[in-house]
Amino acid sequence: MERAIFSPPAKQVSEPTMSARSIWKEYVASRLPESSRWHSCFSDRSRPVSLFLTSVIRTSGRRGVDVCSKNERRVEIYEALLADETRFAVEMGGEAQQLEVLTLMKHDVMKFGDVLTPRELDVISATFETVSRRSGVVVGVTPAWLTNTKKECGWLEKTSVKKGGEEKCLREAAIWAELYHPYVSKFYGACHVGKVFHLHEWNDSVINKTLTWRLLLGCALGLEYIHERGLVYQRLCEYTLDKPRFGSKWLLNGLGLVRLRQTNVGFGDSRESEAQIPTSSDDDIEPSVSSDVLAFGLAIFEILAYARSCYTTDAAMRSQPKPGGQLPRARPDALKIEEWELLVGMCHSDPAVRTTMIEVVQQMRALAKGEEKHEASTNDSSNAPPELVQDVTLYSAVAATGEFAMLGGEVLPLWFIPLYQVEITKRIADGSFGSAHEGQWLGADVVVKQALTSQTEKEKRDQFRQKVELWLTLNHQNLIQIYGACHEGQPFFVCERTQHGTLVSFAEGKERKMVLYCLWQAALGLEHLHECGIVHGDIKSSKIICDEGPYEHPSVKLADFGLLNVFADRVKEADSQAAHDSFRWKAPECLNGASPTFASDIYSFGMCIIEALSGEFPWGNSIPDEAVKFQVTQEKQLPARPTTFSDAEWELVGRMCCFDPDRRISIGAVAPILYSFC
C-alpha cells in the first residue's frame, strides 16, 4: 500500500481548463482542485458537479458575479457535450472510468442536491442518465463514508489500496467506519472507485520511538475494544501500531480487520472464534482472538528490541522471532522478568494456554504503574493510570448482526456504552444541556457529557439514538469525535478528550495570526455541519476546543453540535444561569424566541470572532442580559468595535451579524476569508 500526506495547499487558485482531455477526467479533476476549496472565497464554484455555493454567497462577495459566470460557462460546456452524441461517446471512456464518475456524481447529488440550481441539477441528471443508459453501468447506494474529495479534511493520510481493489476497500472501510475508540486510528472516509484509498489521521511508525508501557497499554485497550466488536486482525504486526503525528499516545491501525464467526464467546476470551475472511491462496492462517494475542506479543517484542537498542549488544535479542511466531529461547538481558513473563504468556504455542486479552491488559496496567512509580521518584508530576474497571465479560458478546444482545427487551446498538464502563473523575463545565466531566472509559481518557434530564419516554430515547448515530457519521477533523453513548436512564455521550482547553484560553498571549488560524479551522467544522444539514444551535467560544496539531499549530474542533433538538424540553424549561450564558452570542431572532438556523449559527460564530480576537465577551462582562437583548433586538446594534480589529476583520463580522438573517453570508464564504487573514 502506498501512503501520501495531504497538507493545506498554497493560497494560489488556478482555474482548471477543459482542454482536450476526457470530460470525465475533467469532472474528477474539478472535484479535486489543486487548491483546497476553503483557500479561495468561491473556489467551490470552479467545480462542475460538487458543492455549489448558495444564492447567498453568489450575491454577497466582491467576486460573486465572476463566480456565477465561471460556473455558467462550465454548465454550458456540459450542455454542449450532451448535444454532441459522437463526442459524448468518445469522452465516456472505459467501464472503470464510467463507474467512478457515476458513483461520484450520485454521491454529490445525494449530499449537495439542495444547494444546486435547477439548471445545474438538470445538467448533472442528464449526464448521469445518458452515461448509465449508454454504458449499462448501474450504481447502487453509495456508502455513507465515501469521501467527496481527497483533500477536504486537510492534515490527513491517504493509504492507497493496491491489492484487492474495490472489494477490499469496501470490506475494510465498512469495518473501520464502525470503530470509535481513543486508541484506534480515526477513519475519515474512503473511495472505492477509481484510485482506491482510505483517508485517516496522519500516523507514524512506532519503531524507534520513545517507548513506555503506558503507550503499549493504550494499544492493548484498543485491541480489547476491537475484539469486543467481533473483529480480529488478519495479520497483526509491529506496523499495526501507529503514533499520531500530532499526539503523544499510540494507536492501532484500522486496516486489515476481519469479522469473527461468533461461537458462544464472551468478551476477552481468546480461545474460540474463527474469522470470516475471503478464501485465497495467500490465506495460510486462521485469524482469531488468540492469534491476535500471539501477534501482539511478537510485535511488542520487536518494538522493545528496537527501543532499547538491544539487537547489536544482546545475543538473545538478535535471535528475532521466526515467521511461525517464536520468541528467543532465553530472556534477553534488556527485558525485566515481569516483561518477559508477559510476552511468554502471550506467545505460548498452545492457544488454550495462551494469555487472554483481559489478562494482558491487567499485566500491562501493572507494568505501567511500576514504570510511573519509578518516574515519580524523580518527578512529582506522575499521572498513574486508572484502576481496572469492571470486567467487560459481564456484557453480552457481539451478535453476528453487528448489534449487541438484548438489554431490557431492547436491541442495543454498537455504540452503546453501559454506565459501569465509565468512571467520572472531574467536573469541567456546565451548560444548557447538562454537564461535562473528565473521565475514563475502559482505561482511556475521555470526556463524558451528561444530560440533566432522564430519557424516560421511548420517543425521547429514539430521538437521542438518532442524534448519536448522526454524530457518528460526521467524520471531520474539526469536529469533536464521539466514541459512544448511553440512552438509558440519564443519557450521556463519551467523547474524545483534547489537550489545550477552549479557544479563548488557548488564544491568550498568542499571535493574532495563530488565533485567526484557529478560527478558520472552527469555520471548517461548522461548514461541514451545515453541508450535512445540521444546525449547531449553541455556538459560543466555550464550544470551540483546541487539541494538539501540526507543527506547533493546534487542531481546533467544534463540540456539542446539534444537541438542541435532543434536549429541547430542557432548554425551554431552564432558568439557571447556565441557560442565560449564551445571550451574548445569540442571534436577534433567537433572542426573540425563534429556533436556531444556519443563519443564526453564522451570527453566533461572528460573536466568537469578536471574543477570540479581543479577549473579552461580546458586550463585555458587566452589562445585564436584558440590556444585551434590547441592544440586539430593538436597537439592532453590534458590540462596539474592538480597537485591535482591522477594517477587513470588522467588515467580515458585520456581514456575518446582519440583523436580517437573509443578508448574512454563509459559512462557505466565511472560512476562506478567515484563511486570507492568517
The yes-or-no verdict on residue 608 having pLDDT over 90 is yes
Q: Comparing 247-256, 270-279, 308-317, which segment has the lowest mean pLDDT?
A: 270-279
Decide which of 491 and 27 is more confident. 491
- Element (DSSP H or E) covering residue 70: helix 64-83
Q: What is the pLDDT of residue 609?
A: 95
Instruction: Give one word for 79, left, alpha or beta, with left for phi > 0 and alpha for psi -120 to 50.
Output: alpha
Between CA 4 and CA 156 the distance in angstroms is 9
Q: What is the pLDDT of residue 319?
A: 53
Half-sphere exposure of 101 (CA within 13 A, CB side): 27
**Grid coordinates representing 47?**
467545480
Q: What is the pLDDT of residue 13?
A: 35
The yes-or-no verdict on residue 22 having pLDDT over 60 is no
Q: What is the pLDDT of residue 248?
A: 75
- The b-or-e profile of 433-469 (16+ CB within 10 A means b, else e) is bbbbbebbbbbbbbbbbbbbeebeeeebbebbbebbe
The string of DSSP letters for 279-346 reads --TT--S---HHHHHHHHHHHHHHHHHHHTT-TTT-HHHHSPPPTTT---SS--TTS-HHHHHHHHHH
The yes-or-no verdict on residue 28 having pLDDT over 50 is no
Decide which of 179 and 277 is more confident. 179
**Grid coordinates representing 440?**
475514563
**Grid coordinates representing 139?**
450504481
The yes-or-no verdict on residue 265 having pLDDT over 60 is no
The end-to-end CA distance of the chain, in Å, is 35
The CA-CA-CA angle for residues 152, 158, 160, to 5°, reads 130
Confidence band of 390 (pLDDT split at 50, 70, 90): very low
Reduce the DSSP state of residue 90 to 3 states and report it.
Answer: helix
The amino acid occupying position 263 is T
Q: Comparing 2-11, 422-431, 531-540, which segment has the lowest mean pLDDT?
A: 2-11
Q: What is the pLDDT of residue 120?
A: 80
Mean per-residue pLDDT, 188-198: 86
Q: What is the pLDDT of residue 314?
A: 55
Decide which of 266 and 328 is more confident. 328
**Grid coordinates representing 554?**
493546534
The yes-or-no verdict on residue 361 having pLDDT over 90 is yes
The yes-or-no verdict on residue 263 having pLDDT over 90 is no
Domains and CATH numbers, the chain: 1-201 (no CATH), 202-376 (1.10.510.10), 406-496 (3.30.200.20), 503-677 (1.10.510.10)
Phi first, then psi: give them for residue 174, nearest 5 degrees. Answer: -60, -35
Highest mean pLDDT among 15-24, 36-45, 528-537: 528-537
Q: What is the pLDDT of residue 432?
A: 58
CA separation, residue 406 to residues 124, 403, 417 (Å): 45, 9, 14
Maximum distance among all Cα pairs of the chain, rounded to whole angstroms: 83
Between CA 56 and CA 663 the distance in angstroms is 7
Q: What is the pLDDT of residue 425?
A: 85
In 348-419, alpha helices (H):
357-376
The yes-or-no verdict on residue 386 having pLDDT over 50 is no
Confidence band of 325 (pLDDT split at 50, 70, 90): low
The yes-or-no verdict on residue 262 having pLDDT over 50 is no
Q: Which residue has the cell 451478535?
A: 399
Q: What is the pLDDT of residue 246?
A: 73
Task: Name beta bridge partners: 4.
Answer: 158
The yes-or-no verdict on residue 381 having pLDDT over 70 is no
Q: What is the pLDDT of residue 147?
A: 79
CA separation, residue 609 to residues 163, 232, 407, 544, 645 (Å): 47, 46, 46, 11, 10
Decide which of 163 and 275 is more confident. 163
The amino acid occupying position 674 is L
In 271-314, alpha helices (H):
289-307
Q: What is the pLDDT of residue 355?
A: 94
Report percent pLDDT > 90 for the chain: 27
Q: Give pLDDT tens digits for 83-127.
A: 888 888 888 788 888 888 888 888 777 776 666 678 888 888 888
Instruction: Give one word for 115, left, alpha or beta, with left for phi > 0 and alpha for psi -120 to 50.
Output: alpha
**Grid coordinates representing 390?**
469492571
The yes-or-no verdict on residue 247 having pLDDT over 80 is no
Mean per-residue pLDDT, 318-334: 70
Confidence band of 431 (pLDDT split at 50, 70, 90): low
Count the Cβ atoms, other than its own, within 10 Å of residue 600.
24
Between CA 380 and CA 16 the distance in angstroms is 58
Q: Give pLDDT tens digits for 125-155.
A: 888 888 888 888 888 888 888 876 544 445 7
Q: What is the pLDDT of residue 47?
A: 33
Between CA 181 and CA 163 the distance in angstroms is 27
Confidence band of 646 (pLDDT split at 50, 70, 90): very high
Q: What is the pLDDT of residue 172?
A: 92
Half-sphere exposure of 537 (CA within 13 A, CB side): 19
The yes-or-no verdict on residue 383 having pLDDT over 80 is no
Report percent pLDDT > 70 for the chain: 71
Q: What is the pLDDT of residue 315?
A: 54
**Grid coordinates representing 513?**
495570526
Phi first, then psi: give them for residue 20, nearest 5 degrees. Answer: -100, 0
Q: What is the pLDDT of residue 512?
A: 93
pTM of the model: 0.68
**Closest by alpha carbon to 116, among 147, 79, 78, 71?**
71
The string of DSSP letters for 122-159 reads HHHHHHHHHHHHHH-----PPPTTB-S-TTTTSSEEEE
Q: Comparing 44-48, 71-75, 485-489, 546-550, which segment has the lowest mean pLDDT?
A: 44-48
The yes-or-no verdict on residue 323 having pLDDT over 50 is no
Mean per-residue pLDDT, 497-508: 85
Highest mean pLDDT among 89-98, 158-167, 209-218, 597-606: 597-606
Mean per-residue pLDDT, 562-577: 44
CA separation, residue 191 to residues 92, 100, 627 (Å): 20, 9, 52
Q: Comparing 171-175, 231-235, 438-442, which segment has the lowest mean pLDDT?
A: 438-442
Mean per-residue pLDDT, 470-495: 85
The yes-or-no verdict on residue 670 having pLDDT over 90 is yes
CA separation, residue 133 to residues 54, 89, 95, 428 (Å): 31, 12, 13, 58
Q: Identify the DSSP state of 5.
A: E
Q: What is the pLDDT of residue 272?
A: 46
Across the chain, mean pLDDT equals 75
Confidence band of 227 (pLDDT split at 50, 70, 90): very high
The amino acid occupying position 66 is D
